Amino acid sequence: MKQSTDGIKINNNFLARKFVTLLQILRQNGFAGAKQALLKNYYFCIQMLRLNKIARHVKSHLSQTTLSFERGKTLAEGIYYIIGSAVEGDVAEFGTMHANTAVALAASLGHISERMEGSELAHGFTNKRKLWLFDSFEGFPEASLDVDKSAPHVSSGLWGKGKAYGYSPQILQKLVSKYLQEEQIMIKKGWYKNTVPAISNEIKFALIHIDCDLYESTMDVLDHLFKQNMISKGAMICFDDWYCNASDPSMGEQKAWHDLTEKYQINFSDVGSYGTACHRFIVNHYQGVPSHQE
């Protein structure tokens, strides 16, 4: 392993492959082509180093959690993406449990927003982005739809009523307030079907982390947000339990997303899996929000 000047380790094989590629381009296309490739790869490497550095900064604050480095890095990348790409809106998590991902989002938002304040101001975002945290703080609701009742995680009792009971709103507030100002933290207690419609329809979301697990709970959240055009063009939606229930597309978060894409004619980019059971998408446009949104 080679140690870079900013303390980030770079795999020698990765650098070797980039160098070989550059030599091949030089032979085939001459200096002009090689120069263009060099610049492209230089900026790619710099971006990867920067994201790794941010992710390690976030991970240093998560030593007491069970969140993997990859998941923490992915959430940091999401925050970096919405700020760097000027996606309008706040950050929201639905399902906080033991605050692992809530803390990752808070640490990422606080650190990256500070580093990229100039970018935010240049794009006209003068207000600091908020972190919205929704949870019943009572564990899972009792499954009422057949699609949820038949899910292996529900029928086994793993996702039964009251299970996955996590931290209280007070403890959650204390944990995330280490990284964000008080006015940036919005904690909403209650069932999604009640708390989500209660917030202003004027609010926009740039990044949404779905840890709802159940089909009905996921629909309670996203159906309302899409219906009210509260999800911004370019928003990233991360599903924490996408591959649960043996990755059955007729259940849980997968079915909810499939049904929503049809209902709202969502045009999206699939940006891949991360962690063990997670997947993420970028919303390009959907019914009510044209692709050339003003």
φ, ψ for residue 235 (rounded to 5)?
Answer: -65, 145
- Domain span holding position 11: 2-44
pLDDT at 148: 92
What is the average pLDDT across 126-133? 95
Reading the block at residue 127, the tokens are 């207000």
Q: Which of 2-11, 28-37, 238-247 has the lowest mean pLDDT?
A: 2-11
Reading the block at residue 175, the tokens are 């944990």
Strand stretches in the chain, DSSP E: 2-3, 9-10, 90-94, 131-135, 185-189, 205-210, 231-239, 267-274, 278-285
Does residue 21 sit in the same domain as residue 96? no
Q: Tell me: pLDDT of 53 over 90.
A: no
C-beta separation of 260 from 266 below 8 A = yes
Does residue 78 sit in the same domain as residue 140? yes
220 in a domain, yes or no?
Answer: yes
Does residue 39 sit in the same domain as residue 90? no
246 in a domain, yes or no?
Answer: yes
Q: How confident is the model at residue 69 (pLDDT cuts 50, 70, 90)?
A: confident
Q: Is 3 helix (H, G, I), strand (E, B) or coil?
A: strand
The CATH number that applies at residue 255 is 3.40.50.150
CA dist list (Å): 229 to 200, 252, 270: 11, 23, 20
Q: How confident is the model at residue 173 (pLDDT cuts 50, 70, 90)?
A: very high
7 in a domain, yes or no?
Answer: yes
Q: How far apart are CA 240 and CA 280, in angstroms?
A: 9
**Per-residue model confidence as pLDDT tens digits over 268-288:** 999 999 988 999 999 999 986
Q: Residue 32 is which amino acid?
A: A
Q: Tell me: pLDDT of 19 over 60.
A: no
Q: Tell me: pLDDT of 167 over 70.
A: yes
pLDDT at 163: 81
pLDDT at 10: 40
**Residue 61 vs residue 81, higher pLDDT:** 81
Does residue 32 sit in the same domain as residue 170? no
Does residue 15 sit in the same domain as residue 81? no
Tally of structural domains, the chain:
2
Does residue 122 sit in the same domain as residue 173? yes
pLDDT at 4: 37
Q: In sequence order, what are the residues at sequence separation of 6 or more whose Cβ sits closer than 8 angstroms to the Cβ of residue 185? A: 106, 130, 131, 133, 173, 176, 177
Q: Which of 19-28, 117-126, 189-198 has the lowest mean pLDDT?
A: 19-28
Q: Tell me: pLDDT of 8 over 60.
A: no
Does residue 16 sit in the same domain as residue 103? no
291 in a domain, yes or no?
Answer: no
Does residue 202 sit in the same domain as residue 73? yes
**Residue 11 vs residue 236, higher pLDDT:** 236
**Per-residue model confidence as pLDDT tens digits over 240-263:** 999 999 999 999 999 999 999 999
Does residue 139 sit in the same domain as residue 12? no
Does residue 161 sit in the same domain as residue 39? no
Max avg pLDDT among 45-49, 86-90, 95-99? 86-90
Does residue 30 sit in the same domain as residue 84? no
C-beta separation of 291 from 285 below 8 A = yes
**Residue 116 vs residue 215, higher pLDDT:** 215
